[in-house]
Amino acid sequence: MSAEHAGSRHLEIGVDGTSRDLLAADGLRLGLVDTADEAAFAAWTEAESRGFHSAAGTTEHVEQRRGYARVRRTTGVWDDSEANPLTPVATTQVWPAELTVPGHRSLPAWAISGVTVAPTHRRRGIARAVIEAELRTAAALDLPLAMLTVSESTIYGRFGFAPSAMACDLTVDTRRARWIGPVAGGRVQFVSPQQLRVGGHEIVERVRLATPGQIAYDGILWDRQLGLMVGDEEAKTLRCVRYDDESGMAQGFAIFRVKENAGDFTNHHLTLLHLVSATADAYAGLWRFLVQMDLVSTITAHLRPPDEPLRWMIADHRAVGVTEFDHLWTRILDVKAALEARTYATPGRIVVGVADPLGAAAGLHTEGAWVLEVDSTGSAVVTAVGEPVDVSMSINELSAIHLGGVSPLVLAQAGRVTGDATTLEAMFRSPVAPWLSIWF
């Protein structure tokens, strides 16, 4: 089940009182947007677009977004003294979504998106009030973790978030990238975005639990990738291919565009927007198809996993340039629930000390000493204890290592974890590098 449809409690709970009062003292009003109200939602969308410096949507586009927004908690902050008082001066949109953790498991997480504050109202604490409100609301809803993808990596550390899943941008020189990988036995064929809409999503769901860091998504996040948003001019250049295995079952797809080089027809540029595969065969079949595309000399691929096998499937390792960056930021709100949700690589027992400036006052179950006991199956029981700790860190570092991709030993070297990082390293490491393949 998609977590975007996991009940409606998050739509019904009122705004956080602490932040409402704080903002009211500054002459501002924190409130929920009624997505059934066309004018209110249009004004909210206008504020969000303005906040990200993107073009305002047409009426049809806003109406399409309003349809998706029905399952999201949409919040604004209004300054009633403004010339256009209906347009909020701050926006955010949140919803619960399943987040994959190591061990083919997932936990319900609070996805935060659309955080903007108008440039006219910046740096007076509005974003802090809005984000802390969302964290307290998540805690009130018993959600063990909050997550976001960020415009700038300087903003969210102060709220206890840390990058826990990295992503890579690849540049492939196809002239050097002679294929030496397996030749898949299935078939690659062009399909329309509409054909991919149901079948492609079924593949996304099928592979979701294989990689920590992936989230359950549909609605706008899926339709946007398929170019199905009203007025998306760039969508006209999208191409979709599907890989079917030898038995005819769809096992993967790729969405890409090719930009012609008018000056040299042998130097076109292919941009890979999304490639999802449920089998090794589908992965090889789709990448081989892309790498061998006639007239294309360069492929750039955005948001690829840190452990991409492609480099081992081509003759020249250096045909692929890799730029790694932080992508998914997470913030544990409930240490017991978050740590018990995943499995661990080795059995053992360790007492972890956690500091959290936001902590108990915000209703978070994070601060203190926690004993993590992992049995021979990799499952954990976590209990608050009064014992001396073996290793200590702040909630940021615990959030960073939680998905198994950030090394506790590296954090210890950086001075951000003190104590027995070696045991943590052995327990927390995930055999599959965490990765999130979309922005939200």
**Site residues (CB under 6 A) for ligand COA?**
51-52, 115-117, 122-128, 150-152, 154-155, 158
Contact between residue 243 and residue 252 where contact means Cβ atoms under 8 Å apart: yes
DSSP class per residue in 312-380? GSBS-GGGEEEEEEEEEEEEESBHHHHHHHS--SS-EEEEEEEE-SSTGGGT-B-SEEEEEEE-TTS-E
- Pick the closer one to ligand COA by CB: 52 or 325: 52
Backbone angles phi, psi at 163, to 5 degrees: -70, 130
- Pick the closer one to ligand COA by CB: 31 or 378: 31
Shortest spacing between CB 39 and ligand COA, in angstroms: 23
Shortest spacing between CB 45 and ligand COA, in angstroms: 15
Shortest spacing between CB 394 and ligand COA, in angstroms: 15
Contact between residue 251 and residue 281 where contact means Cβ atoms under 8 Å apart: yes
- Pick the closer one to ligand COA by CB: 127 or 417: 127
- Pick the closer one to ligand COA by CB: 53 or 236: 53
Amino acid symbol at 84? N
Shortest spacing between CB 19 and ligand COA, in angstroms: 11
The closest of 233, 101, 79 to 165, measured between CA atoms, is 101
The CB-nearest residue to ligand COA is 127
- Pick the closer one to ligand COA by CB: 126 or 335: 126
- Pick the closer one to ligand COA by CB: 140 or 155: 155
Which residues are paired to 107 by β-bridges? 99
Shortest spacing between CB 164 and ligand COA, in angstroms: 16
Shortest spacing between CB 47 and ligand COA, in angstroms: 10
Shortest spacing between CB 46 and ligand COA, in angstroms: 14
The C-alpha atoms of residue 134 and residue 363 are separated, in whole angstroms, by 12
- Pick the closer one to ligand COA by CB: 12 or 152: 152
Burial (0-12, 13-18, 19+ Cβ within 10 Å), 396? buried
Identify the H or E element spanning 130: helix 126-140
